[in-house]
Chain A
């Protein structure tokens, strides 16, 4: 929105500046990811390989968090995979920019498409969707994606070095950075009330179940909180249309304000 009145040149420097800020923030996330993973006892190559191959901060944290809590690898992969389902609609939304242009050879277009897919992240998609002009969408996506991939895969090994250097992580409060990072990642997505209710309900269920269930499962059980998103509309269209008795009216009347809330 802010960029609309600017000239092309200015908006390009603005793009570089915004991408740099996002990279700085994500670099710090990367350092804390690497440090958390090795401080928790994982071998150094696990966070490094994950950053190269998975390249999705939230799910990397989720999978490592489940493993560090004593959960099984299956639960860890499941948690990470569920978090990454949002990449599918992201890919649909930016399908026009992940390939580099119509001019190149067919193989080159395919190579670009395969590489571009790996660069689909929250940030690169958000940058691409800020523009409507195809060329600028493409520039925003590739600039942000490539810069993030570079910064992420430098900062995680740095974090691994830092994490293996610090012996007593609890004394420095480093165990608190992991939930804090997750919270900071999640808060911007809690935009509407129903998602907030679902998140709070799911988190309460997960904490309550932690003493009872094997590690890793309570977090997945939190998905039950999604039931808060269920809307009681479209439930009984038949009585509504046939509604000759007064007893059917009140539920139908209640359904209307719910519908208008959207």
Chain B
């Protein structure tokens, strides 16, 4: 019932917006500024929806596989790759990362352990990683924005530490 009403309402509003232009064309002129605002509002909504659906599931962080796939696809889209390529790259990068063991999300795994990249599991905890893990554990039982932020901070710290090590190894 609800979805039927919602579909009907969106269809009615959309058709009204479509038919209004031809009906009013002789009488009104939309100022250029308003036209730019419509275009920008559409762009802002699309990017925001892309960002939230790439990074979050429900109220939680979605894990790294999905944003990584979306980022790869976004780079290709920005370089004007054909649409099918963009879609296939998004799906396959995400699927391959999951195959490699990067987890979906804490909730999807059905456990209360913090989000971890199993790829990095062998790395001994030190420095930033230890600090942020402490931060995470200190607040991991609150279902609030802090959990989300600490998860992001911890994962970023683990990744950054590993990148730094690899980089240092290359330099040395």
Contact = CB atoms under 8 A, between A and B. Distances in A.
Interface of A: 24-25, 28-29, 32, 42-43, 46, 49-50, 53-56, 58-59, 61-63, 65-67, 69-70, 73-74, 76-77, 79-96, 98-99, 113-114, 116-118, 120, 170-187, 189-190, 194-195, 198-200, 202-208, 210-212, 215, 218-220, 222-223, 225-226, 229
Given A117-B19, A211-B60, A211-B147, A173 B2 contact: no
A85 B74 contact: no
Given A88-B18, A120-B18, A206-B52, 11 more contacts: A25-B83, A54-B14, A70-B58, A81-B14, A86-B42, A89-B21, A113-B22, A170-B98, A176-B65, A183-B50, A203-B51
A183 B74 contact: yes
A43 B6 CA distance: 14
B58 A69 contact: yes
CB-CB nearest 3 A-B residue pairs: A91-B21, A173-B94, A222-B48
Contacts of B14: 54-56, 59, 80-81, 84, 87
A222 B46 CA distance: 10
B42 A189 contact: yes
A99 B84 contact: no
A207 B52 CA distance: 5
B82 A25 contact: yes
A229 B39 CA distance: 12
B92 interface: yes
A91 B15 CA distance: 11
Interface in B3-47: 3, 5-11, 13-15, 17-22, 24-25, 28-30, 34-47
12 contacts: A54-B10, A89-B21, A91-B17, A91-B18, A94-B21, A173-B90, A179-B51, A180-B50, A180-B74, A180-B77, A183-B50, A198-B43
Interface of B: 2-3, 5-11, 13-15, 17-22, 24-25, 28-30, 34-56, 58-60, 62, 65-66, 69-70, 73-74, 77-78, 82-84, 86-87, 89-96, 98, 104, 108, 144-145, 147-148
